[in-house]
A and B are shown apart, each in its own frame.
Chain A
Amino acid sequence: MSAMIQGVQIDLISADRLDSMTMMEKIRLILDDVMEGNIVVLEKGLAPEEQSKLIEITMREITPDGFAGIEMETYPAKEKPGFLDRLLGKSSPTRLTVIGPADQLKTIKKEKDFITAWVSSR
């Protein structure tokens, strides 16, 4: 690792891996990773309930001069699920999501379908 002092670790987590995890496992994995200064990319993002809990737990982890919270990027949800999807109990699909420490990951520009972000090392 000494040769990569200036680098930033990026963890890419597949949809399969996420599907096998509980809500709290996902949130813990994300926060532990991000608090170490890593960037987490989720192939399939978090469900609304998981996002709500992530915000709440992130707030509990914030400390002065320590962890300042997260920056998170994802596209807006697609159109509402159709009749058949609702019948089968499918909610609108979650989408690719990038999460990083708020003091390292910055959004530069965000449109409905195009996100530009900047990552700095610690």
Chain B
Amino acid sequence: MDFLFRARKKISKFLKAFFSKRQSRIGIYGPPNAGKTTLANRIVRDWTGDALGPVSEIPHETRRARRKEGIVITGNNGGSITIDIVDTPGVTTKIDYKEFIEYGMEKDEAVKRAREATEGVAEAMHWLREDINGVIYMLDSTLDPFMQVNIMMVGIIESRKLPVIIVANKIDLPDAAPQRIKSAFPQHPVISISGLEGDNVEELYEKMVEYFG
């Protein structure tokens, strides 16, 4: 009996190790000011009660990747996923400190912000190559989805064979056109939300459970 008990315990341990997946690390990517941190804060608040980082209207508010571990998201059918959320700096190919001066910043502060932003973009690219298992790609649905950085980033994510959900954000704004995003990226699921107002985020959570689970 003792032998049988030990054997069963061993088998169950083996099966557990075999079937339980490593916790997925989901990166929220997108151009500056798409609403990445607003969404990250909402996800973290909805499922853990905390917050992740500050938001602002000035681009490049997030200049370091921020991670929140062990978030459990449960879908309507009872299925759930455990993920780490990584909020990343907005990706761009150009940064000019003068842009920040237009928002009323002093030159020294603007130059510092620009330098930190360049480091942040490089860091975000590095995370994507090394440490991310799935991507939420955020787009501002009032803007042109064919912006070069989007085409490049979606291509890079596809080449790494990472699952990606495209989020058409800011649908609460009058000139939002999420349909343009759907037609620009027909190969991926597109969910329209307002991260700020919380509109339709449940659909995003459902999709995350289905897609990243």
Contact = CB atoms under 8 A, between A and B. Distances in A.
Interface of A: 47-49, 51-53, 55-56, 58-60, 62, 64, 68-77, 80, 91, 102-103, 107, 110-112
B159 interface: yes
Contacts, number: 86
Main secondary structure of the interface of A (DSSP, over half): mixed
B4 interface: no
A91 to B, nearest CB: 7
Contact of A51 (B115, B119, B156, B187): B156
Contacts of B72: none
Given A68-B96, A70-B94, A110-B147, A77 B155 contact: yes
10 contacts: A48-B152, A51-B155, A56-B122, A56-B125, A68-B96, A69-B95, A70-B94, A72-B148, A76-B146, A80-B187
Which of A64, A71, A74 has the most C-beta atoms of chain B within 10 angstroms of its own C-beta? A64
Contacts of A112: 146, 184
A76 B151 contact: yes
Contacts of B144: 110
Given A62-B118, A69-B94, A76 B184 contact: yes
Interface in B75-124: 91-97, 111, 114-115, 118-119, 121-122
Interface in B21-43: none
Interface residues of B, number: 31
Given A48-B160, A55-B122, A68-B94, 10 more contacts: A47-B159, A59-B95, A69-B93, A71-B94, A72-B93, A74-B151, A75-B151, A76-B146, A76-B155, A102-B93
B125 A64 contact: no
A70 B93 contact: yes
B45 interface: no
